[in-house]
Amino acid sequence: MTLEPEHLGQSSQELATKLRELRKQAGLSGVRLAARCSMSQSKVSRIENGKVRPSLVDVEQILRALDAPPHVIAEVSALARLANTEWRNLRELRRKGLGTRQAELKALEASSTRLRYFLLSMVTGLLATPEYVRASLAHSPTDTSKAVAGKLARQAVLYDASKQFTFILTEQAVRWPVVSPLALAEQMDRLSSLSYLPNVRIGLIPVGAPTPTNPLNTFTIYDTSLATIETSAGLLVLRDDRDVGSYLEEFSGYEENALFDEDVRERLAEWSASCRS
């Protein structure tokens, strides 16, 4: 199966149709298949109607219950992975509007309780000062006023004590000159202040610190169900448990090697003073 970015996330209905056809070819009712898979009949029905996006584990259970041959397992498993992966290029994001994107992120944050952010090259909007937010969007060819307002409004979620946030930033992300030296010092001061919130952990990986792997992209993990990976060309959305799990493992490795609490505040104070000088 050829992997085309534009086809990612568009295979859900094709997967649903294929699973329904395989069940009928096996001569099984939805009730009997559900019993073999230890699933509810309603879940099997929703999967076959395209109303529920099955995970790879769900698909494997169904294929085993249907005694599918190896070549069918390979084909349908590849289709399931595509159905659980979505690609959004920058053109699409800009066409929908950056303000719309902020509404989507706000909804994701509202529905999640454990949020993890790995920030490779810039400070995320949740932690940013207004000046930093405006500067981070200055390159956009479209109107950014709604996006700026949306980013700043989203910051209120940090004060929701029912949620837990962990941010891991590289030194490059903190010190990259997105704004003037004085404004960058104020941004560092904000990071230090937010690190005192009881439900917010801010970690720092200084230049030269060992890491288990070489980081390639900024990414965010919402609970254990969804991960988004940012690239210069667009956004990759992963929903399959195994794909999300690989990013959870990567994040844990960075977390183990990061500085936290007073160690972070000491570094931020040092860098902030350097900017002001």
Q: What span, in angstroms and rounded, lies between the C-alpha atoms of 61 and 38?
A: 9
Amino acid (one-letter) located at 59: V
Of 188, 166, 162, 180, which is closest to residue 255 (Cα–Cα)? 166
Q: Mean of the pLDDT values across residues 51-62?
A: 81
Kindly compute the dihedral angle of the four CA atoms of residues 217, 177, 133, 228, in this order, to the nearest 10 degrees.
Answer: 0
* Model confidence at 1: pLDDT above 80: no
The dihedral of CA 39, 243, 250, 101: what is its sign? negative
- Per-residue pLDDT of 186-216, as tens digits, reads 999 999 999 999 999 999 999 999 999 999 9
Position 73 scores a pLDDT of 86
* Model confidence at 156: pLDDT above 80: yes
Q: Quote helix, strand, coil % in the chain, to nearest 5.
A: 55, 15, 30
* Model confidence at 84: pLDDT above 80: no
Position 54 scores a pLDDT of 81
> What pTM, to 2 d.p., does this model score?
0.80
- 54 by Cβ neighbours in 10 Å (0-12 / 13-18 / 19+) ranks as buried
- Per-residue pLDDT of 97-120, as tens digits, reads 666 788 888 888 999 999 999 999
